[in-house]
Amino acid sequence: MVNNSKAFNLAKYAIMFATIFVAMMIDRGISAALPISMAICVLLVTFSFCFIQNSWADGIAAFLCFGVASFIKAFIFPDAIEWYFKPLVYVIPRVLAGAACFGTYRLALLAMAKLNNRRVAQAVAMTTAIAVGLVSNTVFFLLPFSYLSEGGEGFVAAIRSLVFINILPEYLTSLLIAPWVVLGVRRGLKLGIDGNNWKVAVTDEVAATDLQPDLSNGNYIATDGAEPDVAALADNAFAPDVEHSPSGNDADDFRTVERNSEHKRHVATARRNK
């Protein structure tokens, strides 16, 4: 079952940022041996994280991590941009590109809602969204970068110089590989072809915590999300229920009733969620 607690999400985003930052450093190491600066690994990793879970939060977070990693790298390897302008160059354009990318993905899925082959629909939607994300990232980044470093005169020249030596390798790698990486990871994590199984898991967990056993008679009562008395559940989870008998005989006045398996499952869920 997918865990969506605050601690889990914090760890997930920390791993996301660390992976993107390492990929960026790998690109930097590769570029050191070349006359150009490449971003093949970091773009591939960023797009993969963007789509693994079909979630706006994860989609934007992936590009936010990309932007923050770029921001930190700009201090490690200084450039011509003043430090107070760096967020405008490295962070905000990446967040905007992420919104454009994930928004395109959702729109493409809506456009192909009647397509029977869900895997093909996902691959086409992700490929289209990645294309939009790549173009958005290039334009949103180079516009402020060229303006702040060269007074805006270098934008067209930068695009022309990067088309064959940077843009084509980076674009082709992400377009051809990222969708299949995402589909493979979704399958491995049992997130479903659409990446939506985590939403089902959250719904199940909420439903389970909204019920708790009534220990007086073994029935379930709604708690509206209130915390169950875990200590009482632990002490009485597998104790026999006692019901009154109309016989009036002390020997027959009580009878032992085994708790059913459904009751045990909800008790275990309550203990786990605590």
Per-residue confidence (pLDDT) for residue 136, from 0 to 100: 95
Same domain, 69 and 175: yes
Same domain, 175 and 259: no
Percent of the chain with pLDDT over 90: 47
Q: Which domain holds residue 62?
A: 6-193
Signed CA dihedral, 92, 94, 97, 98: sign only: negative
**Residue 14: CB partners within 8 Å, gap ≥ 6?**
none
Give the pLDDT confidence of 40-85 residue by residue, as tens digits.
999 999 999 999 999 999 999 999 999 999 999 999 988 878 888 8
Q: What SS3 class is residue 212?
A: strand
Per-residue confidence (pLDDT) for residue 15, from 0 to 100: 97
Q: Is residue 38 part of a domain?
A: yes
Give the pLDDT confidence of 128-160 residue by residue, as tens digits.
999 999 999 988 988 888 777 665 555 556 555
Please tell me the total count of domains within the chain: 2
Same domain, 34 and 134: yes
User: Of the given ranges (41-50, 111-120, 134-143, 162-171), which has the lowest mean pLDDT?
Assistant: 162-171
What is the distance between the alpha carbons of residues 105 and 29, in angstroms, rounded to a whole number? 32
Q: Is residue 205 part of a domain?
A: no
List the CATH number of the domain containing 175. Answer: 1.10.1760.20
Q: Which of 158, 148, 125, 137 is nearest to 63 (CA)?
A: 137
Same domain, 102 and 221: no
What is the distance between the alpha carbons of residues 148 and 132, in angstroms, rounded to a whole number? 24
Beta strands in the chain (DSSP E): 211-214, 219-222, 241-244, 254-257
pLDDT band for position 108 (50/70/90)? very high
Of 166, 193, 220, the one marking the end of a domain is 193
Signed CA dihedral, 249, 250, 251, 254: sign only: positive
